[in-house]
Chains A and B, each alone.
Chain A
Amino acid sequence: MTYACSHCPLENMASVSELYDVGWEEMRDKLRKWREDNSRNSEQIVDVGEELISDHASKLGDDVWIIYEQVMIAALDCSRDDLALTCLQELRKQFPDSHRVKRLTGMRLEALERYDEANKHYDAILEDDPTNTAARKRKISILKAQGKNGEAIRELNEYLEQFVGDQEAWHELSELYINEHDYGKAAFCLEELMMTNPHNHLYCEQYAEVKYTQGGLENLELSRKYFSQALRLNNRNMRALFGLYMGSGRSKTFASVSPQAGLDTEQQAF
Chain B
Amino acid sequence: MGEVELSCRAYVKMYLHACLFPRCSVNGLLLSSSSSAGGAVCVTDCVPLLHSHLSLAPITQLALTQVDVWCSQTQQRIVGYYQANACTSDSSPTPCALKIADKIAEQFDGAVLLMLDGSKMSPDYRVPPIVMYERKDSRWTLKDKHTIMLRQWEEIRDVASQMLDSGDHSLLVDFDSHLDDITRDWTNQKLNSKIAELCSPVNGNI
Binds B, one of A30-38, A86-94, A242-250: A242-250
Contact residues in A for B107 (Cβ distance below 8 Å): 260, 262
Flag if A4 contacts B95 (CB, 8 Å): no
**Is B99 on the interface with A (CB-CB < 8 A)?**
yes
Flag if B68 contacts A263 (CB, 8 Å): yes
Contact of B58 among A77, A246, A256, A263 (CB under 8 A): A246
- Contact residues of A between 231 and 257, Cβ < 8 Å to B: 238-239, 242-243, 246-247, 256-257
A-B contact count (CB 8 A): 107
**Is B40 on the interface with A (CB-CB < 8 A)?**
no
Could you tell me the dominant secondary structure of chain A's interface residues?
A: helix
A215 CB to closest chain B CB (Å) equals: 8
Contact of B99 among A40, A223, A263, A270 (CB under 8 A): A270
Flag if B123 contacts A6 (CB, 8 Å): yes
Contact residues in A for B106 (Cβ distance below 8 Å): 262, 265-266
C-beta contact mask, B100-121 vs A, less than 8 Å → 1, else 0? Answer: 0001001100000000001001
- Please, which residue of chain A has its CB at the minimum distance from the CB of B72? A259
Given contacts A4-B121, A209-B53, A238-B182, contact A147 B87 (CB under 8 A): yes
A62 CB to closest chain B CB (Å) equals: 31
Contact residues in A for B96 (Cβ distance below 8 Å): 181
Flag if B179 contacts A238 (CB, 8 Å): yes
Flag if B103 contacts A1 (CB, 8 Å): no
**Is B86 on the interface with A (CB-CB < 8 A)?**
yes
Contact residues in A for B62 (Cβ distance below 8 Å): 242, 246
Contact residues in A for B121 (Cβ distance below 8 Å): 1, 4
Q: How many residues of B contact A (CB 8 A)?
A: 43
Contact residues in B for A53 (Cβ distance below 8 Å): none
- Contact residues of A between 166 and 186, Cβ < 8 Å to B: 178-179, 181
Interface band, chain A? 35 or more
Contact residues in B for A243 (Cβ distance below 8 Å): 58-59
Contact residues in B for A263 (Cβ distance below 8 Å): 64-65, 68
**Is B2 on the interface with A (CB-CB < 8 A)?**
no
Flag if B65 contacts A258 (CB, 8 Å): yes
Flag if B90 contacts A246 (CB, 8 Å): no
- Please, which residue of chain A has its CB at the minimum distance from the CB of B103? A266
Contact residues in A for B95 (Cβ distance below 8 Å): 181
A113 CB to closest chain B CB (Å) equals: 9
Flag if A6 contacts B179 (CB, 8 Å): no
Given contacts A1-B88, A238-B182, A242-B179, contact A212 B57 (CB under 8 A): yes
**Is B137 on the interface with A (CB-CB < 8 A)?**
no
Contact residues in A for B23 (Cβ distance below 8 Å): 1, 40, 77
Contact residues in B for A213 (Cβ distance below 8 Å): 55-58
A240 to B53, CA, bound (A): 14
Flag if A1 contacts B90 (CB, 8 Å): no
Contact residues in B for A266 (Cβ distance below 8 Å): 61, 64, 103, 106
Flag if B182 contacts A209 (CB, 8 Å): no
Given contacts A181-B95, A209-B56, 5 further A-B contacts (CB under 8 A): A1-B86, A242-B59, A243-B59, A246-B58, A258-B69
Sample (8) of A-B pairs whose CB atoms are under 8 Å apart: A2-B118, A212-B56, A213-B55, A238-B180, A256-B65, A257-B65, A258-B68, A262-B106
